Amino acid sequence: MDGTEWNTTAGGTGGALVSTPHDVNTFFAALLVGRLLSPARLTEMRTTVAGDPERLGPDGRYGLGLITEPLSCGGVWTGHTGSARAGHHGIGAVAPDGRQVTVVVDETPTTDTAAATLLAAVDTALCPPAR
């Protein structure tokens, strides 16, 4: 479903963006290598605290607009998740080595299993296969 005409301002600053997965990847790549903010501001964003386990899982952490989640291959991915009123849900994530993924589905996860499946897809994309 094309959401470019939706009024997403009900979500405040978190809902005022209509984008593509490619755009999300481009944004996070620029943000996390320091092309958008000063080093001090990016350090502030990357400083995280334990997140709500109901929303981020037991090991998820949250900073100033950035989420971190552990990867099965070590380290954490950094990015963000979000949902739109019509049920679209997305995760944009970057691994420590710069590998990126944006996963978008047309239904907001409503069960722990569905949420875990999305996080597993992110983990699969960001963790290189063992050779």
Beta-strand runs (E) in 28-127: 49-50, 61-62, 67-70, 76-83, 89-94, 100-105
Instruction: Quote the pTM value.
Output: 0.82
Q: Residues 12-55: pLDDT tens digits?
A: 655 556 678 899 899 999 999 899 999 999 999 999 999 888 77
pLDDT greater than 60 at residue 110: yes
pLDDT computed for residue 2 by the predictor: 66
Q: Residues 56-92: pLDDT tens digits?
A: 778 989 999 899 999 999 999 999 887 776 667 788 9
